[in-house]
Amino acid sequence: MSFGGGDSSPPPAPYYPPVPPKEELLDVIDHVTGTQAITVIGADGKKKRVVERLPRTQEEQKLYDEAGNLMNKAIVEIKKLSDYDPAAVVDFAPFVDVMNSLNTERQADIAELSKLPDFNQYVTDFKAMGNTILQEEFKKQENENREYLSRRGYGDSTAAIEMRNALGYNKAKALEEHNVNATMYGEQLKAADQANRRNEFGFREQGRIGQLQRAQMEHQLKLDQYNQSNTMHQQALQNQSGLFNMGASIRGEDTSKAMATRAPELANTIFAQSNMDSLNRHNAQVAQINSQYQNQLASYNSQRPSFGDTMLQLGGMGVGAYFGGPMGAMMGGQAGKLGGQLMR
């Protein structure tokens, strides 16, 4: 009830809507990379965020499987090619044995070549033989001359003496020539022997050189075969490595494609934006309610007090004065205001 003036009750306290609940994290499917980010319930009953790959298409799965088979086959072949094969190694022993055998034979020939016969003895024997023949020959001629001169009575003549002297001179000259010839013969025999030995050594050395060349050619042929085989072996290894790398590249591209997924990022972005939008809407509602309440409160405060409010306030102050003191007056004023509000 009011003593003059209209209803001047203050506006009620505003009602605020509750804060909106947190938005759910959405599942996102990335068809570009073939992946998805989803929420699952684990065995422990708790929610878990999982990023997984979508099933491949039939063509993608076929290519993926073929790449794996290619890598597995390449690994098997690389292991086979990498195994040590003792038979593939060129054996140097036969070639070395031939060289050692030929060197041993050559050393024996050289040692035999240095064993020269005793040519001095040959010369001595030849001289002795020649001297014997010459001595006998001149002895025979001397006897014939003596017999011839004796029969004619010229045994002690000057002609006989000159004949004997001439025969002696011829004998000495023949013996001297024979000795010289014997020495020359010895040198010639020595030279011929050495030439024969050198020729024989040369022939044998040519044979050894031929054997060595044949052994070297055989060994070189084995080396060439080994090098050719090794080249083919390395090429095979390179080919298998290339096949393995090709398969690995295909699977690596598949993995890289999946790793480039934006599903988790998009899910988090959408989640953050949705919660931000809800919170912004809630804040806008709260701001609008506050603005309305402030307007109502300002309107209430701008109204003039009614007659009843004035009287009750004065009455309250009188009661306060009755009780005495400034405190009593203030209490009376407050009581008057409360009464005025109740009257409204």
- 263, 28 contact by CB (below 8 A): yes
Looking at the fold, whether 150 and 206 belong to one and the same domain comes out as: yes
pLDDT at 326: 45
Domain C-terminal end among 226, 257, 288: 257
Q: What is the mean pLDDT of each run of 10 residues along the chain (344 residues)?
A: 54 88 86 90 88 90 93 92 72 83 86 75 78 80 73 68 78 80 79 84 87 88 86 90 93 89 88 90 93 89 63 49 45 48 46
Structural domain of 322 = 305-344
Report how far residue 34's alpha carbon sits from residue 12's, in angstroms, rounded to the nearest whole number.
58
Q: Which residue has the tokens 């699977």?
A: 251
Kindly state whether residue 39 falls inside one of the protein's structural domains. Answer: no
Report how far residue 286's alpha carbon sits from residue 20's, in angstroms, rounded to the nearest whole number.
12
- 48, 42 contact by CB (below 8 A): yes
Looking at the fold, whether 253 and 133 belong to one and the same domain comes out as: yes
Which three-class secondary structure state does DSSP give residue 95? helix
- 51, 263 contact by CB (below 8 A): yes
DSSP code of residue 3: S
Looking at the fold, whether 137 and 248 belong to one and the same domain comes out as: yes
Q: What is the separation of C-alpha 206 from the centre of its chain, rounded to a whole number of angstroms? A: 50
pLDDT at 98: 86
Domain C-terminal end among 257, 278, 294: 257
Report how far residue 327's alpha carbon sits from residue 112's, in angstroms, rounded to the nearest whole number.
154
pLDDT at 288: 93
Looking at the fold, whether 111 and 211 belong to one and the same domain comes out as: yes
Counting the structural domains of the chain, the total is: 3
Which three-class secondary structure state does DSSP give residue 36? strand
In this prediction the pTM is: 0.48
Looking at the fold, whether 172 and 218 belong to one and the same domain comes out as: yes
- Those residues whose C-beta lies under 8 Å from the C-beta of residue 53, and which sit 6 or more positions away, are 34, 35, 258
Looking at the fold, whether 212 and 277 belong to one and the same domain comes out as: no
Looking at the fold, whether 141 and 236 belong to one and the same domain comes out as: yes
Report how far residue 304's alpha carbon sits from residue 337's, in angstroms, rounded to the nearest whole number.
14
